[in-house]
Amino acid sequence: MTSDDASQRRSYWAAQMDEAYAFMQRIGQYPVRECAEPVASLREAVAGSGVEVVFSDTLIAGTFPRLFFLREGLIPAFLEAARDLNRRGWLLRVEDGYRTTEMQRHLSLTPAVLDRILAKVLWEFDGRLPAAEVIFRRLSALTATTPKTGTHMSASAMDISVLRLDDRVEVDRGAPYLEMSELTPMGSPFVSAEGTRHRGLITLAMGRHGFLPYPYEFWHYNQGDAYDEMLTGSGKPGRYGAVDVDLANGRVSPTAAPLESLHTPEAFQKALDEALQRRHAGA
């Protein structure tokens, strides 16, 4: 990589992360009129549907089993999007669905996430450690730090990968799920031509059934929430907001403090200090 190429990548990453943080700030102010629609299990929806879908078997933050739920009203669209991908010879793998606020809180500060973001920010600043606020903004852009800005907590979003049906090899999207770099934004110019084409084809298939991509993560799609309405310029409030879910019956109740940060400044600083210690120990 030439110095000019590295400089372009740094500039692109920084600009995209600043845009993503600004996007999150606007989402925090965007109106939501929670419709109280229950959630439904994606696994149960797939069973007997004739659609082939697979689900990640990893744990969130190495601790929490993944909750493969979306709002009931999104289930038909989910199945049709997956069916479209099957027709192309592809297989939808759902990486993540609904997250509780506790899951989101732990995910943001887990070493698997925070260490990678820290490494990328140090790369962005050519080895210099910026203010903690800068790192927190990058974290907020890639893993929402309030319930309202994280549509996984609205049960209206899913993270996906796509595999080939015949051999289960992952379709090249330029990088794998949870890449955190200048390759992460959907429109990254640093992704290969094939990866870019596949991102476009997958987004078209999802979009035909109402699922829009989060522009700053190529794996995240959502519908019916503040992201959706703001990105489409509909002028309508989101119908799905941050909710707590009774997993026994799927009923939802609005999260009590959707704009309250999931992390106190003290908790974030402690996690950041620990990440720096891990980095120094591994140097």
Question: How do residues 254-272 score in pLDDT, each as one tens digit?
Answer: 999 999 999 999 999 999 9
Residues contacting 13, CB < 8 A, separation 6+: 120, 124, 181, 182
Q: Is residue 70 part of a domain?
A: yes
Q: Is residue 110 part of a domain?
A: yes
> How many structural domains does the chain have?
1
Instruction: Identify the CATH number of the domain in which residue 271 sits.
Output: 3.30.1380.10
Question: What stretches of 209-264 show up as alpha helix (H) in DSSP?
Answer: 226-232
Q: Is residue 2 part of a domain?
A: no
Question: Mean pLDDT across the stretch 118-143?
Answer: 96
pTM: 0.95
Q: Is residue 23 part of a domain?
A: no
Compute the C-alpha angle 245/249/255, nearest 5°: 15
HSE (side-chain half, CA atoms, 13 Å) at 137: 18
* 155, 161 contact by CB (below 8 A): no
What gap in Å lies between CA 111 and CA 181, rounded to an integer?
16
Q: Is residue 206 part of a domain?
A: yes
Tell which wins on pLDDT, 253 or 5: 253
* Mean pLDDT computed over every residue of the chain: 96
Question: Mean pLDDT across the stretch 269-282?
Answer: 94
Q: Is residue 5 part of a domain?
A: no
Structure tokens belonging to residue 48: 């007997």
Q: How confident is the model at residue 3 (pLDDT cuts 50, 70, 90)?
A: low
Q: Is residue 132 part of a domain?
A: yes
| Predicted pLDDT at 283 | 60
Question: Mean pLDDT across the stretch 14-38?
Answer: 98
Q: Is residue 276 part of a domain?
A: yes
| Predicted pLDDT at 61 | 83
Is a pLDDT exceeding 80 seen at residue 77? yes
Compute the C-alpha angle 184/188/189, nearest 5°: 145
E strand or H helix at 278: helix 265-282
Is a pLDDT exceeding 70 seen at residue 1? no
213 phi-psi bin (left φ>0, alpha ψ -120 to 50, beta other): beta
Question: Mean pLDDT across the stretch 101-119?
Answer: 94
Is a pLDDT exceeding 90 seen at residue 4? no
* Domain carrying residue 59: 33-282
Question: Mean pLDDT across the stretch 155-159?
Answer: 98
Structure tokens belonging to residue 228: 């959706």
Query: What percentage of the chain exceeds 90 in pLDDT?
Result: 94
